[in-house]
Amino acid sequence: MAISLAVLAAGQGARAQNAAPSPLPLPAPVTDMPLPPIFQPFKVDRSNRVAVEVRVNGSGPYHFIVDTGAERSVISNELAQGLSLEAGPVLGLATIAGRHVAPSFHVEHLATDSFAIENLQAPALKRGDLGANGLIGLDGLDGHRVVMDFGNDRMSVEKTGRRLRPGVAADGTIVVQAERMRGRMVIHQARINGIIVDLIIDTGASTSIGNMPLRAALQARKSTKQAEAYLLSVTGERIRATVAIADRIKIGGATIENLPISFADAYAFKVLNLDERPALLLGMDVIGLFEKVTIDFDKRQVQFGIREGAAPGPRGLFMAAADPSGFTTPLPARRGAAIEP
């Protein structure tokens, strides 16, 4: 979801062992994608998110974060003013801290080497809070699939692919069926320490955030020690959080152990109507463990490519494990912003 996160006194991230005004209508993405797709090189920024080079109205390139949790693409105030973009209406935002309003600017053309969107009304936030010049949100990704190839440090936004059978493919790729909830991809089959959890796929988050029902359920099962932290929204607001280690999270055929989760009563869960049952914003600390991740918004599927050498675990599960690390290393993260309904 479009929010910003900074965690103090958090544990080290999981490490893989080879395993308010009314919103305006969403702009239409350009649908004529080149075949074969053009792969866009990316780099992982210091908060562990995927950043790509973007041209705005022909100028640039500028670093933008790819954020599958943000309803709309966002531009920094500094870049919008530097390019003398036309000012638009004030728009409502949903952040982890609550509702907020922000100015907007009209972007005629926003493009990378692999895709483009036109006639974008982008809310504007401070570059220091975004951690980048902007975010690429669902208005540029809807109806397509995002392929993040971590093994080769490249990504592409392509036309939707064919629907695959859920399960573990012959090459070890794990295919999970998802549901679209307010545009986001939500996986329902996940379990954390045996608890059924809704997972929101969020590439704009460097770490994973759990809601209060998930925290209560884990506490009832006597989960591991906790540490105090805070979450920082893209508007600069802070909310208190608690960090704890989840022993095991299962996503389809993959298992990840010793995952730090930040728990907070975040407004983002209320926006998605996921504040009354266990839910988790799945961040790049988990997504980046895989060799390749494909998010197909049209087919409502997520494909997780297992890293070479991953060993099968009990009942054929592929295992990805992390070392228990306590709470010694700060775990910074930032997030994007979503348009309030």
Structure tokens at 298: 């049209």
- Over residues 240-269, the mean pLDDT reads 86
pLDDT, residue 271, reads: 86
- Taken in order of first residue, the domains within the chain and their CATH numbers are 6-17+163-339 (2.40.70.10), 40-144 (2.40.70.10)
Distances, alpha carbon 273 to alpha carbons 196, 197, 200, 232, 269, in Å: 16, 14, 12, 21, 6
Q: Please tell me the distance from the alpha carbon of residue 294 to that of residue 286, in angstroms, as a whole number.
A: 14
pLDDT, residue 321, reads: 46
Phi and psi based region of residue 2 (left: phi greater than 0; alpha: psi -120 to 50; beta: remaining):
beta
The one-letter code for the residue type at 312 is: P
pLDDT, residue 308, reads: 65
Which comes out higher in pLDDT, residue 35 or 279?
279
- Over residues 103-119, the mean pLDDT reads 89
Q: Does residue 312 surpass a pLDDT of 80?
A: no
| DSSP three-state, residue 11 | coil
Of 11-20, 56-65, 104-113, the poorest mean pLDDT is in: 11-20
pLDDT, residue 309, reads: 56
204 — pLDDT class (breaks 50, 70, 90):
confident
Average pLDDT value for the chain: 76
Q: Does residue 335 surpass a pLDDT of 50?
A: no
pLDDT, residue 224, reads: 59
Condensed to tens digits (0 to 9), the pLDDT of residues 216-251 reads 998 876 655 677 877 777 777 788 888 888 888 988
Phi and psi based region of residue 60 (left: phi greater than 0; alpha: psi -120 to 50; beta: remaining):
left
User: In the block, which residue shows the tokens 């996160």?
Assistant: 5
Q: Which long-range contacts (CB under 8 A, 24 or more apart) does 237-242 make?
A: 237/95, 237/97, 237/98, 237/100, 238/97, 239/96, 239/97, 239/264, 239/265, 239/266, 240/264, 241/7, 241/209, 242/215
pLDDT, residue 51, reads: 78
pLDDT, residue 247, reads: 85
Phi and psi based region of residue 48 (left: phi greater than 0; alpha: psi -120 to 50; beta: remaining):
left
Rounded to 5°, the CA angle 232-67-15 comes to 75
pLDDT, residue 36, reads: 40
Condensed to tens digits (0 to 9), the pLDDT of residues 37-78 reads 434 444 444 456 777 889 999 998 999 888 888 888 899 999
| DSSP three-state, residue 211 | coil
User: In the block, which residue shows the tokens 């004030």?
Assistant: 90
pLDDT, residue 86, reads: 96
| DSSP three-state, residue 139 | helix
The one-letter code for the residue type at 23 is: P
pLDDT, residue 213, reads: 95
Closest C-alpha among 190, 232, 251, 239 to residue 332:
232
